[in-house]
Homo-oligomer: A and B are copies of this chain.
Amino acid sequence: MDNVSEMPSGASSSRIYETLRKDLVRGRFVAGEKLAINALKAHYDVGLSPLREALNKLAAYGLLVQENQRGFSVPRLSREELEDIAHLRLELEGMAFERAVERGDDRWEASLLAAAHRLKRADKTVDKGDVWEQLHTQFHRTLVAPCGSVWLIRFIEQLHDQFDRYRRLGPNPPLIRQALDDQHHELVELALKRDAQAARALMDDHIQKSFEVALAHYQQHT
């Protein structure tokens, strides 16, 4: 554990959950590492109870592993799991986007354009904090928002967090960002054209590309 976020000031319970979740996704903890609860308590400056409740939630969510009487640890990474996650993202996000394209209304079109624009803007500026990451997450959220299935969205977000544990192992240099961002705009275009088939195909390709980036990072990392 090192270099983890400062806690935002304010109420504690869900705050610590969100902070930890982000730090886990960002890779601020080493995969496989056992969490020292007292260290967390000290670092994030929270009490034991809220902290443990957050850890329990994160374990149920799949960002931590809880072992019987031996605390919490960060799940290990494996190529097999990355492939599993990417493949499922392909299936689920493809399905969701296809449905979104069929069902989304004009307000959706507007929010898509907005999200894509903001993302492109962030692309060009130097990234203070995780602005690009946040906007990227928001963009993908928007893509599938009107798919009509609350549970599908839930699973997709869960998979995104898992996927990002791999993708964010390495840097996200401008060139790769650029390439992915081009696809983001194409996705918007196809959505506006209401071409569900092509939209899905491109989504598949987009996830495939992301997978390759993440895999490279993973292999570098080990």
Contact = CB atoms under 8 A, between A and B. Distances in A.
A151 B60 contact: no
Copies per assembly: 2
Nearest to A95: B91
A149 B87 contact: yes
A33 B20 CA distance: 30
Interface stretch (A51-59, A165-173, A204-212): A51-59
A186 interface: no
Contact of A150 (B14, B49, B81, B152): B81
Interface string A29-63: 00000000000000000000100111011111110
Interface string A142-167: 00000011111011000100100000
Contact of A56 (B57, B68, B81, B148): B57
Contacts of A148: 84
A61 B56 CA distance: 11
A190 interface: no
Interface residues of A, number: 29
Contact of A57 (B60, B88, B149): B60
Main secondary structure of the interface of A (DSSP, over half): helix
Interface in A88-121: 88, 91, 95
A177 to B, nearest CB: 27
A62 B87 CA distance: 24
A85 interface: yes
A85 B152 CA distance: 9
A155 B89 CA distance: 13
Contact of A53 (B52, B91, B151, B155): B52
Contacts of A87: 149
A159 B56 CA distance: 20
A60 to B, nearest CB: 4
Given A62-B154, A84-B149, A87-B149, 4 more contacts: A53-B53, A56-B60, A91-B95, A151-B159
12 contacts: A49-B52, A53-B56, A54-B56, A56-B56, A56-B60, A84-B148, A84-B149, A84-B150, A84-B152, A85-B151, A88-B149, A151-B159
